[in-house]
Amino acid sequence: MTVSNDASDLKATTGAQGATGAKLSALFAGTMGPLIGLVLLCLALTLTTDTFLTVRNILNVLDQITVLGIMAIGMTLVILIGGIDLSVGSVLALASMVMGFVAHPDYLNLGLPAGIAAALFVAGLCGLVSGLLVTLTKLPPFIATLAMMSVARGLANMITDGSQIVGFSDWFTNLSIIRHFGFLSVTVGLMIVLAIIFAIFLNYRATGRSLYAIGGSAEVARLSGIPVKSLTNWVYAICGVLAGLAGIVLAARLDSVQPSSGLGYELDTIAAVVIGGASLSGGVGSIGGTTVGVLIIGVLRNGLNLLGVSPFIQQVVIGVVIALAVATDTWRRRAQ
């Protein structure tokens, strides 16, 4: 089937579902390809395993994707403006170590709220510094965030000289364990709320729309009176904060923090955003698409586990999926 970016065509194909269908299709506009892929993947796993399509397993998948999902939101913004952030994995580790150091009884013992605030502050600062390196010193984002990736990882290790911090209050770990209303943990809820907030921001706020202008052409945006530099700084800072938040969620899930956590997460995050239809050259992408990208990676990992496929083969499969997803997208665009 051919899928057009043209909103009216999309409406025509989903017209039977009425107004809600049309709105949904607008939310996922341009991400029909990945969405179809996700549906096919779920169908295949439902047919080949007994356990995939169970409430318990679906909730598991949601739990497993929270860290990736939260980071991918920030990465979507960065990639939308034509940037890239390689530091999110390291910033995640640094933020979680800061939280542990500030909160844990063995160290500063200032309590978890202070620890969380400090973690988010440091993470935001890391992002802001990356942003300033891009806007003020004109470093390419790849280099600026590569530098930040190394710095943040080093700082994370320096805090405890490389050792982990274990054991937090029950209420904190319960955030990712207790399922309110029978299904929704606080961490999963947080991810969903953030996704909705940022989807609304990107679709319906002038500032959000401006990010598409910056990614499409920074010079056009600047000449249109859009404050390109300050928005770029903000985007990197927000990406940092979200990476920090992901670090806190990971700490709650593991009941520990370690400086080596989040290794390679930046690549998973970029992969999720790109599978979701975003263009690395900027200007194209959406939270809807990224959500689909995160779900594809999450479902794929979960499904391969259920099928008993070794983690090594899983890496190969995910690599193939990235190449396939982006290649089909490129072919489709060229065909139009």
Partner 1 sequence: MSPDPRQSESPHNGLFVNGLCKSYGPVQVLADASFEVRPGEVVALLGENGAGKSTVSNIIAGATKSDAGSIIWRGKPYSPANPAAAIEAGVGMIHQELKLLPDLSVAENVYVGRLPMRGGRIDRATMNAKASAQLKRLGLDVSPERMVRTLRIAAQQQVEIAKALTLNAELLIFDEPTAALGGEETELLFQQIRKLKAEGMSFIYISHRLDEIAQIADRVVVMRDGRIVARHERADVSVRTVVEQMVGRSVERMFPTLSPPGTDTLLEVENLSSPERSFNDVSFSVKSGEILGIAGLIGAGRTELVRAIAGADPISSGSVRVGGQPVHLSGPAAAIKAGVVLVPEDRKAQGVVLDQTIGENLAFGNFDHVAPKGWVFPKAVQKFAEAGISRLGVKGRPNQAVSKLSGGNQQKVIIAKWVSRPPKVFILDEPTRGIDVGARAAIYDVIADLARSGMAVVVVSSDLEEVLGLSHRVLVLSRGRQRGILERSEASNVAVMELATS
Encoded amino acid at 248, one letter: I
Should residue 209 be labelled a site residue for partner 1 when binding is judged by CB under 8 A?
Answer: yes
Instruction: Take residue 266 and report the two structure tokens written for it.
Output: 């930046």
Question: Looking at 185, 210, 269, 290, which residue binds partner 1 (CB under 8 A)?
Answer: 210
Which residues 234-293 are close enough to bind partner 1 by CB under 8 A? 283-284
Q: Which is nearer to partner 1, 55 or 206 (CB)?
A: 206
**Residue closest to 156 by CA, chosen among 123, 182, 187:** 123
Distance CA 94, CA 29 (A): 36
Nearer to partner 1, 121 or 201 (CB): 201
User: What is the x/- site pattern for partner 1, positions 48-87, by CB under 8 A?
Assistant: ----------------------------------------
| Of the residues 119, 226, 292, 325, which one makes contact with partner 1 according to CB under 8 A | 226
Applying CB under 8 A, which part among 2-10, 83-91, 94-102, 158-166 lies near partner 1?
A: 2-10
Q: Does 212 bind partner 1 (CB under 8 A)?
A: yes
Cα 156 → chain centroid:
21
Candidate residues 15, 53, 174, 205; the one interacting with partner 1 per rule CB under 8 A: 205
Alpha carbons 294 and 300: distance in angstroms, whole number = 10
Residue 6, interface with partner 1 (CB under 8 A)? yes
CA distance 267 to 86: 8
Rounded least distance, CB 322 to partner 1, Å: 22
The one among 13, 46, 64, 217 contacting partner 1 by CB under 8 A:
217
DSSP 213-240: HHHH-HHHHHHTT--HHHHHHHHHHHHH
330 binds partner 1 (CB under 8 A): no
Is residue 145 within 8 Å of 90, Cβ to Cβ?
no
By CB under 8 A, what part of segment 123-182 binds partner 1? none
Rounded Cα distance, 112 and 99, in Å: 7
Closer CB to partner 1, 181 or 204, in the complex: 204
Helices 88-103, 112-135: inter-axial angle, 10-degree rounding: 150
CA atoms of 289 and 276, how far apart (whole Å): 4
Residues in contact with partner 1 by the rule CB under 8 A: 5-8, 26, 203-210, 212-213, 216-217, 219-227, 283-284
